[in-house]
Amino acid sequence: MPEVKLGLQDVVIDNSEICSIDGERGILTYRGYDIKDLAANSTFEEVVYLLWYGRLPHRTELDELTQQLVENRPVAPEIIELMKRLPPPQHPMETLRTVVSALSLYDPEAEDISTEANRRKALRLTGQMGTIVAAFGRIRDGKEPVEPDPKLSFAANFLYMLSGSVPKPEDAHWFDVALVLHADHSFNASTFAARVTASTLSDMHSAITSAIGTLKGPLHGGANEQVMRMLLDIGSEDKAEDYIHSLLAQKKKVMGFGHRVYHTEDPRAWVLRRMSEELGRGAGQPKWFDMSLKIEQLMIREKNINANVDFYSASAYYVLGIPVDLYPMIFAVSRISGWTAHVLEQYAHNRLIRPLADYTGPTNRKYVPIDRR
Ligand SMILES: CC(C)(COP(=O)(O)OP(=O)(O)OC[C@H]1O[C@@H](n2cnc3c(N)ncnc32)[C@H](O)[C@@H]1OP(=O)(O)O)[C@@H](O)C(=O)NCCC(=O)NCCS
């Protein structure tokens, strides 16, 4: 009998040089650099270089990549027009999935999967993702999109395009840290979906569209939004414990907790906890952090389940003024760097990804004509 590994749990399906996770010790590295080290010292642009090229850049290399990302921030006017014409989605990720797919129709290299073309498309997609998300946030509120500002960093420019005002340096700094932390996470579900699509030698836009559709689910990139909705629903710290007890009694999942790979603290949550606290206290809104801390303590005490990346990012984004339903999109603004790095790696050593299923359905059935069924 073949052994069935539901959810591909613990199945190693390929080598990768991009990202490692030690789920027992809670260590995450990009290309061998500890995520805590990168969060403390690096920038998102530098991490993008690291993911794509396998090493940290020299100053001129970083300047060049930063400039290329800036040049690739604008999207075709037709794309903005399309976003204005599309009906309001039931969830913003529907629009992101549709618009990123549509980008390929305006990309002259859409069907070219050579390494050089794929590197250029990775740049374009990474430059454009933030512009699309910010434009969506404004268009659906009846506002005009804000043109990217080439003088601002990737992180600061995104917050600027979303709100229309240049963010405070500490807000831009913490958002940059959040982008660093979300940039890659090995063969997570959306990255795996991108690699499966690339493994058929389909194109990069198709691979990224698959990834966005996968990220959308509440068990993956949709969790941070659900965390904030839960915090808003709880309303105040004194109600937090009863609320969580009631969820657990109903055998419901508490969003932002648990992980397939980490059996200890997710190192990203360790950084994001401080982000949530500092931003919350700095903005005079400590209640979301205080409530989150109480929930985390309860979950560890009673279920021995740790917070994941989505738990503290929720309250941090809220204090930054990011609309709650855009949280999964923010994940994509950063993760596009990791997705594209993985797609490049998949093409470089490609083998079609095609697992098996153990068939458990009926057998030996004889076809019966429709009128005799
Ligand atoms: C991330 C996640 C999908 C991992 O799932 P998984 O590896 O398939 O693990 P399971 O869902 O089978 O959970 C294993 C056990 O822990 C419990 N558990 C896991 N996450 C839990 C949570 N967030 N709240 C309450 N219980 C949880 C499950 O109920 C299950 O208990 P049981 O064995 O008594 O049935 C899961 O932890 C989850 O749904 N978390 C909430 C969503 C989330 O935050 N996603 C973002 C991930 S970064």
Which residue's CA is minimally distant from atom 22 of ligand 1? Answer: 253
pLDDT of residue 360: 94
- C-alpha of 364 from chain center: 45
pLDDT of residue 1: 75
The structure tokens 């994940």 sit at 331
Distance CA 194, CA 211 (A): 5
Ligand 1 centroid–CA 295 distance in Å is 16
Which residue's CA is minimally distant from atom 34 of ligand 1? Answer: 251
Residue 308 CA, closest ligand 1 atom number: 48
Q: What is the CATH number of domain 19-217+325-348?
A: 1.10.580.10
295: nearest Cα among 347, 245, 240, 355: 240
pLDDT of residue 222: 87
pLDDT of residue 2: 82
Residue 253 CA, closest ligand 1 atom number: 24
Distance CA 340, CA 103 (A): 15
Task: Report the predicted TM-score, pTM, of the whole model to 2 decimal places.
Answer: 0.95
Residues spanned by CATH 1.10.230.10 within the chain?
A: 223-319
Distance CA 58, CA 54 (A): 13
Residues spanned by CATH 1.10.580.10 within the chain?
A: 19-217+325-348
259 catalytic residue (yes or no): yes
Which residue out of 259, 266, 290, 342 is catalytically annotated? Answer: 259
**Tens-of-pLDDT digits for all 373 residues of the chain?**
789 999 999 999 999 999 999 999 999 999 999 999 999 999 999 999 999 999 999 999 999 999 999 999 999 999 999 999 999 999 999 999 999 999 999 999 999 999 999 999 999 999 999 999 999 999 999 999 999 999 999 999 999 999 999 999 999 999 999 999 999 999 999 999 999 999 999 999 999 999 999 999 988 988 999 999 999 999 999 999 999 999 999 999 999 999 999 999 999 999 999 999 999 999 999 999 999 999 999 999 999 999 999 999 999 999 999 999 999 999 999 999 999 999 999 999 999 999 999 999 999 999 999 999 9
Distance CA 358, CA 340 (A): 32
pLDDT of residue 39: 98
**Tokens at residue 22, please?**
């030690």
pLDDT of residue 218: 87
Ligand 1 centroid–CA 260 distance in Å is 8
Encoded amino acid at 223, one letter: A
- Give yes or no for a contact between 154 and 45, defined as CB atoms under 8 angstroms apart: yes
310 catalytic residue (yes or no): yes
Is the CB–ligand 1 distance for residue 222 below 6 Å?
A: no
- Give yes or no for a contact between 36 and 201, defined as CB atoms under 8 angstroms apart: no
Is the CB–ligand 1 distance for residue 310 below 6 Å?
A: yes
Fold for 223-319, please state it.
Cytochrome p450-Terp; domain 2 (1.10.230)
pLDDT of residue 354: 96
